[in-house]
Amino acid sequence: MSSQVQVASPDTFAETAMYLQSGTETVFAVRTSPVTSRADIGVVLAHSGANNFSAHRNGVWTSITRRLAREGIPSLRFDFAGTGESSGKFVLELAGQPVTDAAAAMDALRALGCRRLLVVGSCFGAVPSVVAGAARGDIAGMILLSPPLVPPGGGRMATLRERIGEVVNLPTLRIVATNREYRRWYVARHASLAKTKATIKLSRLATHTPPSSTPEPAAGTSPGRGLLLESELARLITNGSHVEVVFGTRDGNLARVEGDPDASRAIRLLQGGRPAGLAWTVFDGPVHGLEDAAIQEQVIQLVVRRACDLI
């Protein structure tokens, strides 16, 4: 391990480059360490994927990490495999390498003494962060900046096997068995889904339209696939993590959630979750892509504030 050099502020912190093993790939990260840590919390920052690098647009990640350091909070920003300084080829998928990368970054910060993590994911970067975070017990908080909770164009329809796999898997069943709040959400959620599907079937019967010739309903009226990551978000919430979704009024990702009744219902259920429901923050402007300096500043302040709240 290399020794410490103060990169920006000699009184408060040091920054150190790191390479992390992530499966067969090597993932690049920068750790920002305050001279004195105030608590056991650390912040992991996941950028938006392709065409991005560890500092994020306009150095927003760098600004966050340095302000966190001044608050005595260590952090780590990293490049997904195939982006920035990392090895490999970037893949836009909900499992596999991006999830391994996010987990590697979380493990690295844990190994440096942070027992609890606040994870911040931007756009696509939120997806593997949530998947990796839901599988562990050290996530104190998760902030998702304009996540693609309803993928553009509806995405590929899942096969029956994939859909069953989303709800019937070992981690889910384990938490259903052991956590009353999650069980309550799980039952309510699937009852809601069943009701939606039954309503559609009944309406088809009423109009005597054979299902095979029924065109797919347009976006906005379709039950669709619902909310991406719904199960994982519910698991994090019932585990007591602070989960906050941040959109901008001009984000297409927000419009897609609001235009999908099934996703909107899922959001409402998550907002009513316990011990504390999904927090929903909307800034006036574009959060997606962080294409506005004023919004960037609001995001920076929000992340630093939430991290301080978790101390």
Partner 1 sequence: MTTGGNLPVETSRGKPHADVAVEPDGPPGSGDVSLANSARTIVGTVQEDAGFLARPDGALFVVLHRPVDRPPFGSLTVCSSLFGEQHTDYRREVRLARMLASAGFAVARFHYRGFGNSAPGSASLDAFSRDALDVTLAARRLTSVSRVAFLGVGVGSLVASGALLAHPEAPLLLWKPVVDGAHFCRDFFRARLVAATRVGGARPGTTDELLARLANEGHVDVMGFTLAASLYDSLIVSRLTETLPRHPRRILVQPFRGSRAAGVERLVADWKAGGCLVDVQPAKLAEDPYFIPDGAAAAASVLAAEEQLVADARDWLLSSWRNGE
**CB closer to partner 1 out of 22 and 97:** 22
Three-state secondary structure readout of the chain:
CCCCCCCCCCCCEEEEEEEEEECCEEEEEEEEEECCCCCCEEEEEECCCCCCCCCCHHHHHHHHHHHHHHCCCCEEEECCCCCCCCCCCCCCCCCCHHHHHHHHHHHHHHHCCCCEEEEEEEHHHHHHHHHHHHCCCCEEEEEEECCCCCCHHHCCCCCHHHHHHHHCCHHHHHHHHHCHHHHHHHHHHHHHHHHHHHHHHHHHHHCCCCHHHCCCCCCCCCCCCCCCCHHHHHHHHHCCCEEEEEEECCCHHHHHHHCCHHHHHHHHHHHCCCCCCCEEEEECCCCHHHCCHHHHHHHHHHHHHHHHHCC
**Position among 12, 172, 296, 298 found at the interface with partner 1 (CB under 8 A):** 296
**Position among 151, 240, 261, 289 found at the interface with partner 1 (CB under 8 A):** 289
Residues 109-138 within binding reach of partner 1 (CB under 8 A):
111
Q: How many residues does the chain have?
A: 311
Residue 179 CB, shortest distance to partner 1, in Å, is 27
- x/- site string to partner 1, residues 22 to 61, per CB under 8 A? x---x-x-x--------------------xxxxx-xxx--
**CB closer to partner 1 out of 37 and 48:** 48
**Does position 85 bind partner 1 by CB under 8 A?**
yes
By CB under 8 A, which span of 80-88, 180-188, 237-245, 259-267 interacts with partner 1?
Answer: 80-88
Residues in contact with partner 1, counted by CB under 8 A, come to a total of: 50
**Position among 237, 290, 302, 307 found at the interface with partner 1 (CB under 8 A):** 290
**CB closer to partner 1 out of 111 and 177:** 111
Q: Which amino acid is at 34?
A: P
**Does position 227 bind partner 1 by CB under 8 A?**
no
**Does position 8 bind partner 1 by CB under 8 A?**
yes
**Does position 1 bind partner 1 by CB under 8 A?**
yes
**CB closer to partner 1 out of 62 and 241:** 62
Residue ranges binding partner 1 (CB under 8 A): 1-8, 10, 14-22, 26, 28, 30, 51-55, 57-59, 62, 82-85, 87, 103-104, 107-108, 111, 250, 286, 289-296
